[in-house]
Amino acid sequence: MLLKDKVAIITGAASIRGLGRATAVLFAQQGAKVVIADLDEQASINAAKALPGEGHLGVAINVADEAQVQQAMEKILAKYGRIDVLVNNAGITQPLKVMDIQSGHYDAVLDVSLRGTLLMSQAVIPSMRKQKSGSIVCISSVSAQRGGGIFGGPHYSAAKAGVLGLAKAMARELGNDGIRVNCITPGLIQTDITQGKLSDTQKANIIAGIPLNRLGEAIDIARAALFLASDLASYSTGITLDVNGGMHMH
């Protein structure tokens, strides 16, 4: 077991076909106590209950809201007294062209991915520092690297590129505390984030540009998250792990 008795918080993990949920299941199978942290409390509780093994927790959290993040963190620390892993997975996207992005769109997308990653990381760092160990995994996107062109608009690419910079800077600052910070850049993974707005023709066109000849599955990302969260990645910090079927090589 790669995460035996580790406490792992995964944001945005209630969505049933999502990357966060698949990561939560895999982490639980590997012995972790998993905290599902998503917007809706009952959905988080239900998702935690459905995980294999005992001792998981579901909490309501808007990762972009500092007060909610603090409140949830108090609950988590009261139950476990430590935090070993944080997966910054919560994110939303919008298929907009640059001239159609209004400040409300910008705020919504940037707040969840970028502000949320900062606030959640700030909330777990004190515990990780005390323990002198911890792993923070941030879910960015291939859109950050190739300038979108898949589904999300330029503001989404910017938010996810911001996550890459934030994670690397945190990795540099926190290495001496035994805290590793790394990113995953998924390609197009079959979840509900596109809300059915991607047509079969669009999908076929995307697959034509993928050497592995298929779209990604949530488990593909979960396995990468397990690598980065666990001691398998003990000498990796500040890295960006591409999990995109070869869609983008650089």
Q: What angle do CA 72, 167, 96 make, to 5 degrees?
A: 85
- Minimum CB distance to ligand NAD smaller for 22 or for 177: 22
| The two three-digit tokens of residue 193, written as one number | 């984030």
Q: How many residues bind ligand NAD (CB under 6 A)?
A: 29
Q: How far apart are alpha carbons 210 and 199 in whole angstroms?
A: 17
Longest dimension (CA), the chain: 51
Residue 89 binds ligand NAD (CB under 6 A)? yes
Q: Least Å distance between CB 139 and ligand NAD?
A: 4
Q: Out of 74, 173, 192, 231, which residue is the one contacting ligand NAD (CB under 6 A)?
A: 192
* Piece in contact with ligand NAD (CB under 6 A), picked from 16-24, 49-57, 201-209, 225-233: 16-24
Alpha carbons 150 and 155: distance in angstroms, whole number: 13
Angle between helices 103-110 and 154-174 (to 10 degrees): 30
Q: Please provide the distance, in angstroms rounded to a whole number, between the alpha carbons at the two ends of the chain.
A: 33
Buried b (16+ CB within 10 A) or exposed e, 155-172: bbbbbbbbbbebbbebbe
Helix, coil or strand: residue 107: helix
- The span of 73-81, 87-95, 129-137, 169-177 binding ligand NAD (CB under 6 A) equals 87-95
Q: How far is the CB of 89 from ligand NAD (least distance, A)?
A: 5
80 catalytic residue (yes or no): no
Determine the interface stretch with ligand NAD among 69-77, 181-189, 206-214, 227-235 (rule: CB under 6 A): 181-189
Interacting residues with ligand NAD (CB under 6 A):
11-12, 14-15, 18-20, 38-39, 61-64, 89-93, 112-113, 116, 139, 141, 186, 188-189, 191-193
